[in-house]
Structure 1
Amino acid sequence: MDTGCFSAAQRLSCHAMNPDLLKPCPEHGPPQPAAPRMKPNRNKTEQIKPELAPVVTDPKTGRSYSKGKLLGKGGFARCYEMTDLTSNKMYAVKVIPQSRVSKPHQRDKITNEIELHKTLSHKHVVKFSHHFEDQENIYIFLELCSRKSLAHIWKARHTLTEPEVRYYLRQIISGLKYLHNRGILHRDLKLGNFFINENMELRLGDFGLAAKLETVEMRKKTICGTPNYLAPEVLNRQGHGTESDVWSLGCVMYTLMCGNPPFETLDLKETYKCIKEVRYNLPSNLSPAAQKLISSVLQKAPANRLNLDQILGHEFFTKGFTPDKLPASSCVMVPELHPPSPAKKFFTKMAKSFFGKKKAKAEKIPCDDKDEKDLSRLVSGIVKCSISRQISYKTVGSNEVASPAGQLVSSLPLEPTPAEEESRKSVSRSFKGTMASSAEPCEDGSTPAAVAESAAKVLDTCLSAMPAATRNPPCLSRPEPFLWVTKWVDYSNKYGFGYQLSNHSIGVLFNEGTHFSLCDQRNTIHYCLTNNKHFTFQTSALPEQLHSQKQIVELMANYMEQNLMEGGDLHCEDQASSSPPPLLLQWVKTDHALVMLFNNGTLQVNFYTDHTKVILCKAADGSYLLTFISRERVSCTYLLSMLSEMGCSAELRHRLRYVVQLLQHHADA
């Protein structure tokens, strides 16, 4: 299962070295016995934390922020989702009560964290935005990582496959090298501090214990961090160096692959003893390369450990397959990962050269003829390799149950039982026979090929006439409302492709080619048996043969509602429940984008890397509207004729060229 955007969630460091907090997070295994309290509890009144106001305002700038859900909490601070009421941009905000920084050394700790974090800028480090304080709290605004952390993935999965571990470790090492090159030690590397964004990219965060690298003589001797990941030299008060972070990295690798930290015991003192003696077990099910790498990192003497470059050069990485991207489904289940064929590797390399590190520079200037030719060759290769992710006409099992976390958990085998197969045939017979008289035909020419051809033609015509420009024309102040996909979930490995429209109706295109929609607050059902037969039911009058499909649709709907964020700020008016929603004719996934074609002529393309979206639809008067949703989820709608006359920015022009190439090669595929 792959998904669009998870709802925002992050977590704070558990600061497990605090004697009052020696009950580690889920990633640390069984709870450790709490140490005796160092200080008696203060009165209960002082311990009660005041509830954060629904809206907080920066006293200096006057900008207001709406409080969202609680993302995580620790003994020192809480983290909330907050939305800037001016720009609608969302943040993860660390909220520290002023009462917790009343002493100078406490205030210095927060100040040092802020000053250090605001200097960092790296792809695999959580972005620092800004901070302010009022009389009650200090607010630190950070990048919102919507897929929680590796701790959450580990809790759901318990163990990860070696390709997944390589995928995450490469990103951790990239961020860690950046810190070390700047003379910064993290000192609290653990699963809960590796955050995952919407695009399944890892961000290293929580710099509450970070410190500048000192000489051996000046190294800090403080014991800080999380018990299961502490290096021997830290416990022996020999100080922190980059080698201590490498040790923690080895513990992270072991935990992800083996299901528990290497030195975990039920007794904290015993855990410390095992760490000092480097006493742990390597499971026999680990590959020889993985065992060798872990052993080379978990060395007692810091000087004997591999450094970060040597880790990347180890055979565990050089001889093993590392995926370029993980599906979002890997947050809750084992993904289907296959090493690419030589042809696939070639096209991936081309794609990286075109869309990779130089992308930002390429988007600042219009594409020339050479770009067009390179893009044409690139798209041709990608489409021929990847366009097969379309409707597949096979029948699969249809019963699922939802876990408390909202993910779909299979309760039946992939292949249908004879009874299920007979039930499906019965559904087909009944609707083709007795229900045919109530069917409503689709719009003329609404085949995937026709929609793709029409969209490619109007976009190509627009681009051909478009003059050079450096910016987009003014947005339409009140564009005609239209429906678009705000959330999606790819569960085609078993059932089909689900999506939510901007009027909150839910659709699922099943692998066998049928289409099921829940509309009007789930009170009305639109069912399409073939591409030219529609049926409408009230939920209470749904034929029994469709109950199993309805259950799957509801599970996908609940999953998207609980876990996924809206794809942009573009809303629409609710359509009448009596009219069928737009029918998804086809969806196609390439390495860079998701393409969706609807029977009303709407085309939507979601780009993975920066989460931008291009939506082309018809207005009531027959003209075309083009909507661009930026990476900040801010939308602008234009008349296509206006873009043709006035031109647009290089960023939008570049995406439109890519869409045209995709559609043209889609028609030829």
Structure 2
Amino acid sequence: MLLNAFPIDTFTPQINGCQRVMMAINLGLERVEDLLHALGDPHKRIDIIHVAGTNGKGSVTAYIANILKCSGKRVGRFNSPHLVTPVDAIRIDESIVDQHIYDAFRMRVEHISTSKNINATIFEITTATAFSIFADRKVEIGVIEVGMGGRLDATNVHPMPLVCCITNIGLDHMEFLGDNIKKIALEKAGIFRPHAKAVVGPQADDNALAVLVTAANDLECHLIVVESASHLTDDHRSVAVCFRDESVKVELPLMGDFQLENVATAVAASEQIPHVRKEHIVEGIMKTRWPGRLEFVDIDTSRGVERILVDGAHNEAAAKSLRVAVDQILDFENILGNDAALCKVGWIFGASRGKDLASVLNVLVREGDLVCATEFGMVEDMPWIKCTPCSEIWDISGRLKVKMNLAMALDEFPARHRNYQNNNLEALPKAAGNHLPTTQPAQQQNQKVVVNVPDQIVDRKQNKVYTKGSLLGEGGFAQCYQVSDSNSQAFAAKVIPKLSLRTPKQKHKLFAEIKIHQMLSHPNIVKFHHVFEDDHNVYMILELCHNKTFVDLLRKRRRMTETEVRYYMLQLLGGVQYMHGQRVIHRDLKLGNLFISSDMHLKIGDFGLAAILKHDGERKKTICGTPNYIAPEVLFDTSNGHSFEVDIWSLGVVMYTMLIGKPPFQTKDVKSIYKKIRENSYEFPLSIDVSDAGRSLIASLLNSRPESRPGIDDVLLHSYFREPIPCSIPISALHETPEFPSLMRKWHNTTTTLTASSLLSGFSTLSLSANQNSRHAARTVLAEIGLQAATQTRAITTTTVNSMSGHAELPVSDNPSPSGAPSSSRQVQMPGAYVSSPLSYETRVHGVRPKRTLTRESTLPKIPQVQSPKSSTSPTLQPQCARSSTKSPSTSSITTSLTTVAVVASQPLPRPTSPPAPKNFRMSTLETRLNTHSNFQSTSTTPLSQSVNSSTAVRKINDIKPLTPPVAFRQSVSGPSTSASRYVNVLEAMQENLSKALYDMKSGVLSKYISTNQVVKAPKEFISKWIDYSNKYGLGYQLTNGCVGVYFNDSTSIILAPDHHHFEYLYCERDTNKNSIHRQPYTMSTYPQELNKKVSLLLHFKSYMQENLFQACTLQSSDTTATQNLEFLTKYMRTKHGVVFRLSNRVVQINFFDHSKIVLSNDAHTITFIDKSRTMFTFALSSLISANTSQKPDITERLNYARDIIQQMVIKKKLRTSSV
């Protein structure tokens, strides 16, 4: 439960050896006003938005602060109570203030309170500290949360807030605020000011609303009453709010339907700030994070990592909202195909004294739930809060009418109560060994229900009437009719009788189908229009596909030509890739669920067995599918589960069936089908001619090992799709083999850009390369350089090879065109009419894509046309790769002396998703890791496959001791990484050169100590990709020469050569009073057993980076043939503003959190700078001195920071050396 203040008390803390008595809770404004006046009235130097209420005020302040920040304001936020320590209650621009800053201001406030005999309470001192920090740090608007009540609260001191906002009011703190809702509401209304803008959020109690409205009217406030948002619920994740008379749809970043009302209240308050615009609302809401509010966290137990949902509910009203939210989460678990939703809930429950625990527990806990009581210790700065003993919680629980189970510890929770575990809660029986289902999986044997459909179907929600037409089809639970509305527009209506929904599981299954189909929007997926119900049936109004399904086509045609199959497989691949981008697995792709539209396009339908993956690497274990199409892992590997690969298998079955006329494993009975699937036994009839390319593609899709099946981008690169493809399919193809008098020309063995409406349906351009060495050709390049997109909180549209993943792929060539030379790409229109303007590029770039991304909209980000960089007169590094970029003022001013090297054009991406990961994989980002790990925590995490997914493997991998190499293999690392002293020398040289140069920049006079004879050349190797999994394993990285390495948490490293065969294992040993790094050379085919785990991790990191992360730049000067004495990462660390990498080649690289980067080489005489727009420059340090430094603040600012960081590194290194 959320911890709040209760009885008035005093305590005597020890501060620096002195005692002072401070009051705990003593409402009133006199003391805090005296204190603030003595401090110079800092609260009057800022504008504020004041937020009071019982429930939701913390979330509302977080939303408002993020909106204002996105609008360009410098924003302070003050919340009460703090979550862990007092400092986390004070934020500037959504970053917690520095502890040292807080301590300094706090000590000053306490000193004034004591010296002037004010004797302020703790909360008054904290409030004064917050105002003082905000005023000193030039905060423009402070978003201030009331501590308790409002009228006499210490925060209620500002003469005229910009907005006075009150959220939902309930019964709480009645010993201070009053014994009924009216009295409490009147105390809250005390924050209103005469003629001020007052916003009142939705109120659960009309009496509270009446009091607030009366109080506002008495003060002649400009009153805005926010309407209840309950009717705005769409999918529990989005809400349409009114902003200046315009409906704005925003995504909910925080869970719980009560957040709908919080968002509406925050938007109404933000609307009162004139400069706030619609885009600020959308972005600000999306970026809001509120720790401890319906937040999933992972904790270690004796059974491994347990996922726990954390929230606080400090009164009965909040408990009701929490219970509703938990129920909705469990419902969503069902949508995800997780039968755990039907289980009871396990509650870990703790509370402070003075709470009405009986009321809270009575609302939270239901019959059969399990309660584990817990206690907490001393709360910092709130010593008057006392914990309720576990025995008392158990005693209260035992007296409730609801019967529950009690547990002494979390480990006593039975598995059926652990609702948030990774796929080990499936309630369905599992098939094992030869005990296979003899009927279609996941279909219940239910008595047939007669569907009574009226001739006139009335939709009361939308006041529409549909006229029933002919029966289109019939299934186990539903019938599908053609219907038409009053405008004679035709639709398909799927009708599900309510009598068939006998069990909660059946209801949840239907709910899942509706919610999944609703969220999908793609030209190759049957469009979902609407759903409604009457007294007897549920109606799903869908797009009508006039030409029925491919089953009907094959019934008349028997089989299809390879030309047709290519045409339709491209469309099918586009739809499936889009679904996977939404983390949706269809799990029942078959000819009967593939529909044909009036214009002969393929449409995927029937999402009755579909499931959503909640997180990267999740595996489903429910046995489901159609026997002829079901993948082997669904039947025979339920322990490991299944994922997106089951749809790839089904694609192979579909393709085979289209070509041959029957499924590959078709036999007379289901058991025999399963046997053939297990043995992967099928053949191509001799009487039917299928091309070698077609056979090869089917064989790869029908690989028994799911991890060996190709991804969709690999399928698109298959030679099967390099044969002629028609521009359209005639309607006559429904009955007879079509003739194609004009086919598209065969794709040449050169890079060709293909505009494919069948795949991308008018949204993007797909690039395919005939060069088999270029596997990136069907992938996107719009990814972040080095710094991973996990730091980005703004979700944007991405397309991989389809309309929705939001990325456009650029062609890749082994011999890229020179800068400025036009590409040899040509545009070829694919079948269909949904083609948008193709993206044009004049230069080639290198990159890979985030494999799957959860997105919401279906628009392609606009990408500017690539402009060739103009060469300069100064001798500099020649450009190796190019990008489109609009020159910023900071770059244009330097172009006369620098050569621009463009790196990549992109927009910020959502965190990349990936194929299956271990069950215990923990998602995290750099911004959320605030620990002081000696190695910095990077911004991207990566899933690892099941070979290392057990808790045992996790523990053992870091227990591997550095191997003692045979004498024949033992050698010391030569060069700059041999000893600590040599590195100090490098750092000292960099510090000295940077310091002199930065000093000379102020005077404009070049120092004689700054070399002007240095060759301006970028380092051959620096970090181009990296991923962080140091909470368990370490940091993976890739260098610009193709080397891939892992820096493990035990300070050992593996570095893989560019040939991906040779590697070196590095470890540190102390030799004659110094630490030296030693290498052991191995190959991927010969290495000791002790390295199995680390090599496995290396391969996983390598695979993930290759498939998901963008490579900044490949330098032609890099040595890609080296197999020994490879360069490697020696240290990495996190700083306040970025990440510092130190490499063995005397390079120091800093990746800043604003996406700019500095690479220092040649003792910092050579600077490589990548700016925020991702344009790269390499120049001599001396060239900065003669130029106008005011025109390049981005560079000088970062060089100043780099010098300071290196100076700290030198000092720390010397201190360590001297202590030794």
- Quickly name the TM-score band, shorter chain normalised: 0.3 to 0.5
| Higher RCO (C-alpha under 8 Å, 6+ residues apart) | 1
TM-score w.r.t. length of structure 1: 0.46
Question: Computing the radius of gyration over CA atoms, which structure comes out larger, 1 or 2?
Answer: 2
Name the structure where helix makes up a greater proportion of residues: 1
